[in-house]
Structures are given as C-alpha cells and as structure tokens.
Amino acid sequence: MSRTPICADCRHEVLWTVTESGKRLAVDPDPDPAGNAAVYRDGLGAYRSRRPSEDLPLMGYERLHVPHVATCPGRRGTPAPARPMTLPPGVSDLAAYRLKSLRRP
C-alpha cells in the first residue's frame, strides 16, 4: 500500500515532482488551468515538471498544476523564525570556532 505524500506545514496532499534542473517541487495534486508548472510522467513513472514558455508551450501529455508553496495555508503570513539575539543559559555559540577552523590552511 503506497502512502500519499502530505505537506508538513498544512497536512494537505501534495504531488512531488522533479524539475528540469533535478530539484524537487511539490505541486497541488489536482490540475489547475491557472497553474504555471507543466507536470507529466516520464517512462519510469516519475512525475516531472517544467515551466512552459513561448518557445516550448504546454504539450498534450502535460497538465498545468499550481506549486504547493503558493497555496499552502500553513505557510501564508508566517515569517521565518528569527535567530535569537542572546543564547539561552548553558548554550555555546560555535560560530566563531567554525570560522576559525575554516581559515586554517
């Protein structure tokens, strides 16, 4: 039995694709004509995605999907967590040590 992938932020189903550059992109599983990611399945059954352009428009075997990051309710209006200015008691800052070790020849 296969599990359906879900978004860790909003717990909705997503479809994971591989872009032309080899990166993973989560898209909403239902096709949407307002989308900007052309999704298709390759010969091995993996989902692939690309950005349609005027030079290479949408092909007959592709469907438009919306990237999930654009519709995820768990990510909207949520700023990235800021790094604390002071560390809690008992926690050491290793940034200076890491910089020193990187400078060694």
The pLDDT assigned to 66 comes to 95
Phi-psi region of 12 (alpha: psi -120 to 50; beta: other; left: phi over 0): beta
- pTM equals 0.67
Q: What is the reported pLDDT for 77?
A: 59
Inter-residue contact 72 to 7 (CB < 8 Å): yes
Phi, psi values for residue 66, rounded to 5°: -95, 130
Q: Count CA within 13 A, CB hemisphere, residue 17.
A: 27
Encode the chain (105 residues) as per-residue pLDDT tens digits: 456 788 888 888 999 999 999 999 999 999 999 999 999 999 999 999 999 999 999 999 999 999 999 988 877 655 555 565 687 888 888 876 776 665 655
What pLDDT score was predicted for residue 19? Answer: 95
Question: HEC profile for 19-55?
Answer: CCCCCEEEECCCCCCCCCEEEEECCCCCEEEECCCCC
Q: Give the separation between CA 30 and CA 17, rounded to whole angstroms.
A: 13
**Residue 81, pLDDT score:** 56
SS3 103: helix
